[in-house]
Amino acid sequence: MEDTDVMIESKGVTRSFPLGGGREIEVLHGIDMIVPAGKLTILKGRSGSGKTTLLNLLSALDRPTQGQIYWGEKEIGKATEQEREYLRRKDMGFIFQAVALIPVMNAYENVDFGLRLAQTTEKREERVKECLELVGLKNRMNHMPHMPGEMSGGEQQRVAIARAIAHKPKVIFADEPTGAVEIVQQKS
Ligand SMILES: Nc1ncnc2c1ncn2[C@@H]1O[C@H](COP(=O)(O)OP(=O)(O)OP(=O)(O)O)[C@@H](O)[C@H]1O
Ligand SMILES: [Mg+2]
């Protein structure tokens, strides 16, 4: 795949939410955009402008009220929930503001869990350690993310980053991913 390939495309995407009493709020209206492969795409806008709503649509967590979202040739708005889930596990990595780590698993197990969901054929142990090292947490592998005193907010977010990249997804969706992270050292 070349750098300039289109990874995701939205056409005329609208998202409205019911407000009760038959009223609704239209948060997104006629969004046409292209997310190129292999590039960093940034959504900018004031609080409440619909960035998270759009991210949820592009990443198949939510469906548009109107319009289409394509992953390559595939229109994911029309795909079954099973197909969408497969796509999310295999081709996407998520780093969200509310870090969604599994509380009963330590850092290592959280990253490994993502790899298992993606049914990766890679040697898992090596890859988990490599990713935790990349985010500077190799010596925190056995720490429980939510246990008081075991991990700071930024460290939890770095575990989430390690988990998001471990299965080498085609796209990483990040919604204000570094709010609690001071510095993420990235080796290329
Ligand atoms: N499920 C929902 N039901 C009703 N309104 C919603 C729902 N989800 C989002 N909204 C509304 O849509 C608007 C956009 O929300 P969204 O979270 O996408 O904004 P944002 O750009 O991500 O903001 P922020 O920068 O604060 O994170 C807000 O006014 C919000 O109240
Ligand atoms: Mg938001």
Given 50, 79, 108, the domain boundary residue is: 79
Is the whole model's pTM more than 0.75, yes or no?
A: yes
Tokens of 33: 């955009």
45 lines ligand 1 (CB under 6 A): yes
47 lines ligand 1 (CB under 6 A): yes
Given 79, 105, 134, the domain boundary residue is: 79
- HSE-CB of 142 using CA atoms within 13 angstroms: 0
Tell me the per-residue pLDDT of 86-125, one tens digit each, with 9 for 90 and over. Answer: 999 999 999 886 668 898 999 999 999 999 999 888 899 9
51 lines ligand 1 (CB under 6 A): yes
Q: Specify if 1 maps to a domain.
A: no
Tell me the per-residue pLDDT of 52-96, one tens digit each, with 9 for 90 and over. Answer: 999 999 999 999 999 999 998 899 988 999 999 999 999 999 988
Q: Are 156 and 105 in contact (CB under 8 A)?
A: no
User: What is the number of domains present in the chain?
Assistant: 2
18 lines ligand 1 (CB under 6 A): no
Same domain flag for 101 and 158: yes
Same domain flag for 20 and 62: yes
Same domain flag for 155 and 108: yes
Closest by alpha carbon to 161, among 126, 185, 188? 185
Q: Specify if 56 maps to a domain.
A: yes
Q: Specify if 183 maps to a domain.
A: no
Rounded distance from Cα 140 to ligand 1 centre (Å): 35
